Amino acid sequence: MPILTGNDLIEAGWPPGPQFPELLAAVRTYEERGISDPGYILKLLDRDFDRPDPKLTPREEPIDFGEAIEATCEADEENIEGVRRFMRQLLRTPVIEAGAVMPDACPAGAAAATIPVGGAISVRNAILPAAHSADICCSMYATVFRCDKARGAMLDDLTASTRFGFGGRKKEDRHFHPVLEESVWSNKFLQGLEEHAAMHLADQGDGNHFAYLGKLRLTRAFIDALSNAGHETIARELHDAAGGAAALDDPDGVTFYTLVTHHGSRGLGAQVYKRGHKAALKETERIAKEIPKAAAWLDAESEIGAEYWEALQYVGRWTQANHQSIHARFLERTGAERVTEFGNEHNFVWKRGDQFLHGKGATPAWKDDAGRPLLGLIPLNMAAPILVTLGRDNADFLSFAPHGAGRNQSRTATLRQFRKANGDLDERAIQRAIDEATRGLDIRWYYGKGDLTESPIGYKSASQVRGQIEQFGLADIVAEVTPLGCIMAGDAGPAPWKRREKELTPKQKRQIEHRADRRKLRQKMRGSFEDGDSED
């Protein structure tokens, strides 16, 4: 029997690997030379061999990834090259096994290995918090309904039913949902976040989040597609509300109003992400080296990884409750009759076998455990139809579809086109551009001032993204929600934490007062307020 076995070497700190046969051969050579002291043999091994670092390191080369995107112009080419650069950095991470990018892909940040918007990865038994981002469970939700009110009145009711912007609801204006009473708060990633969960219900935030009012046309083909895909309950509710087969045989079909909301988990999810990413950085530093911060992971089979997974599941339930709260408030206020509802996440982590699929702005388009193609909602911009899709389960692209239209340039670059020679924004030109891009629609900005970067001008061509969904076989488009109006946060000014509060000098105060007096005089002469001026 040998003096030292492979298990002895492992206990002595030698990591298993290609070097092991050579080490064991050396042990036999030492024995043949008459050396019988195990401790001395271990010292000889340390003398004669370099002990490898047991920590994981990035791959020498990134793994390949599927590209469900094609350039149609120079801006596309520049954008896609940026997406590729970040995906290649990310796909050197040793626990990632596959990746894909969608037609709406665009870079999401400047840090190394930051997953792009429209990016997806498959990871074995690990979760990368940065790959689902701080807006955990950003998602879509639709309610199909009947209502006798006019479009403007419905949008008034919708404005009163939701909330956009920084912070959350005040205590006297909060909405209750049973999700707040779940026994989850002992989870280390959720501890102390009850207030965040309560204040953000029926609250949508800002950025690209929206409440969209549209019309869904029901046809026999749409109902049959849902039924054949296994979504019998939704198909039956729509069929019955339409009045049965005879009505669906009408060439024009039957039309119902539809409310579609888009938002994530607000302050609750942001805090969970912050804690999860901090834990991932600590765990990854312990077992690996040279891993970019954006690629840090938690072992899903570890205690802390399992606890983070459970926290994510609660955030998912909370976010769906948030959508449902807004929809319920709207239906009650407007006196509408619900027909059916459905939705999907596109910033999340999903488990399929031992693989954890991460999507940063990617719509799940696979078949569920019952073999049903997943039902999805893909918005393109506030003036374009929202696509209702059934997933194709295309494994070449990790069975995802896009989550929207994406951007070919940053918000700053979009605004740059509307700056005057002195650097100021041309507010009149911006408003004209928004009006032209949304002609015929009732567009509301919660803070009163339009946000050019969230208008159709800020996004890629809707027809281009739609075409690439079909070109790459990502999903079947089975219906559309055509737009009537939309509410978004709009321009609320700088975030509170970016606003500088400093004492003004007497001269500065006089200058401000003088400009204000002159502005009010001009306004009085015009007889109206223009260019974003207000009476305040």
Domain layout of the chain by residue ranges: 6-48, 139-488, 506-536
pLDDT of amino acid 535: 29
Residue type, 314: Y
At what angle are helices 303-334 and 151-161 packed, to 10 degrees?
A: 140
Instruction: Give the Cα separation of 210 and 223 in Å (integer).
Output: 27
CB 376 within 8 A of CB 136: no
CATH value of 139-488 in 3.40.630.30, 3.30.2130.10, 3.40.50.2300, 3.90.1860.10: 3.90.1860.10
Reported as type and span, the H/E element at residue 420 is none
The pLDDT of residue 354 is 86
Q: Is this structure's pTM higher than 0.95?
A: no
Amino acid at 317: R
Q: Which segments of the chain have a pLDDT < 50?
A: 501-502, 523-536
* Buried b / exposed e along 408-429 (16+ C-beta atoms within 10 A): bbeeeebbeebeeeeeebbbee
The per-residue DSSP string of 58-82 comes to: --SSPPP-EE-----SHHHHHHHHH
Residue 323 has a pLDDT of 98
Q: Is-contact 462 405, C-beta < 8 A?
A: yes
| Res 512: pLDDT | 64
Q: Check residue 521 and give its pLDDT.
A: 58
CA-to-CA dists, residue 310 to 166, 316, 327, 364, angstroms:
27, 10, 26, 20
8 Å CB contact between 366 and 399: yes
